[in-house]
Amino acid sequence: MLMDAENLMEIIREEYDVIDAGETISKVIPFLEKYEDSPHAILVRDGKKIVGVIRERDLLRGSVMVNPHETKIRSFVVKTGILRIAELDPLKLARRFIEDSTPFVIVQLNGKYGLIYINDFLELLKDELKKIRVREVMNPDVITVRTYESAAKALATMRNHGIDRIVVVDDNHRVSGILTVKDVVDRIISPRKRARMGEGSGEKEKTLSIMVESVMSYPVVTVEARDSVADVIDLMIGNRISSVVVTRDRLPEGIVIKKDILEYYLGKSIPISYDIQIVTRDVELDEFEKDAISKDINKFMKKFKDFFKNALISIYIKRHKEIFRGLPLIFVRMKLTTEKKTFLVSGESWGVEFAVHATLKKLEREVLKEKELLLDQRMQQRVVEEFLE
């Protein structure tokens, strides 16, 4: 059964708290304990207008990096869209979840507000995804860290890749655990701050130099690429987690977060459209290179299909005279033209396939910055500066 507005009306909840943007963080922290075992939402009001929400992960980071009794809520508010009841439909709701990156979407009711939580929405979506396999929605680029490496390195790696979790592997590259930014805050940073304030005396103080193995979460909930996405949704909701690791013989093959599922659903409903123009100089592409470039571009567009629907990618490939181990030095310039912005990057490497791939990674970083998908680097830097001395 396909979802419609009537189905969505049935999952709207009206329980939430409202706090003024001018209040301090300390006033909102007690809400976290109040709703520890149930879904909760904290809307932020500036004057008479709801301007956004407070996400728990931002609040947790903020409370340990600044003085919560002095810092205002408006410093951590996440500005969100608000759906009017008349425009409520599954596609618009999915887009709101993706663009706002929040666990709930605000719906404007008659003189008040309602909320639709992502888990409730995914529960409705399950029937449409029973025949979809995990391999179709997973992100195959699994960023990992070794069990014996430091939490500081894991945190820096997460920051550099614009992610908020990292898969932990052993020396044989088998999955051992998972580490999130929240784990670092809860198990290292918050206890350090409490110790500085005279609490928790006698506890052994952890630092960011501690091994990842000591603070990671385990066992990890894993699935296989052939599993159903509907089953993944059940695992996420049942275990109260936001991601699963895709493995084969305990080796990581991919990762799935809730946003991946919504992006797949949206992408299937609203196909993306893009054109590729390739100009070469002193180099002739063979079929293998053309296929590799096409796969790289398709992967890139799939990753950002929620950001732009129409795009033109112009690629200029030039061969230099230098050769290393049989591979020529290749210069690549890429221009991505979208309805939002035009991006321009360039790069060099040995061989066409590697040069295009490296330049596409540069392009990806530029798009991530524009989307503001990277974790709040200012906050993360303050964590490193304060606790990695």
Could you give the residue range(s) of every CATH 3.10.580.10 domain in the chain? 5-117, 134-267
Confidence of residue 75 (pLDDT cuts 50, 70, 90): confident
Each residue's pLDDT tens digit, 134-164: 999 998 889 999 999 999 899 888 877 777 8
- Residue 372's pLDDT is what? 58
**CA gyration radius, the chain:** 23
Q: Percentage of the chain surpassing pLDDT 70?
A: 83
Asked whether the beta carbons of 256 and 138 are under 8 A apart, the reply is yes
**10-19, 116-125, 132-141, 364-373: which has the highest mean pLDDT?**
116-125
Residue 190 pLDDT > 80: no
Q: Give the integer Cα–Cα distance in Å for 178 and 157.
A: 13
pTM of the model: 0.69
- Residue 269's pLDDT is what? 73
Helix or strand or coil: residue 274?
A: strand
- Residue 79's pLDDT is what? 83
Q: What is the mean pLDDT of the chain?
A: 82
- Residue 296's pLDDT is what? 85
Residue 386 pLDDT > 50: no
pLDDT greater at residue 119 or residue 5:
119
- Taking alpha carbons only, the member of 246, 254, 183, 242 closest to residue 216 is 183
CATH topology of domain 271-371: Double Stranded RNA Binding Domain (3.30.160)
Helix or strand or coil: residue 89?
A: coil
Angle at 18 between CA 12 and CA 23, to 5 degrees: 155
Each residue's pLDDT tens digit, 259-290: 899 988 887 776 667 788 888 888 888 888 88
Residue 105 pLDDT > 90: yes
- Residue 95's pLDDT is what? 85
CATH topology of domain 5-117: CBS-domain (3.10.580)
Residue 203 pLDDT > 70: no
Could you give the residue range(s) of every CATH 3.30.160.100 domain in the chain? 271-371
Helix or strand or coil: residue 44?
A: strand
For 2-30, what is the mean pLDDT?
85
Q: State the residue for tokens 């035009």.
A: 342
Element (H, E) at 349: strand 342-350
Each residue's pLDDT tens digit, 205-261: 678 889 999 999 999 999 999 999 999 999 999 999 999 999 999 999 999 999 899
Strand partners, 324: 327
- Domain 134-267 part of CATH 3.30.420.310: no
Residue 292 pLDDT > 90: no
> Strands across the sheet with 175-180, in order?
144-146, 165-169, 175-180
Confidence of residue 199 (pLDDT cuts 50, 70, 90): low
Each residue's pLDDT tens digit, 333-385: 999 988 778 889 998 999 998 999 889 988 988 887 776 544 444 444 444 44
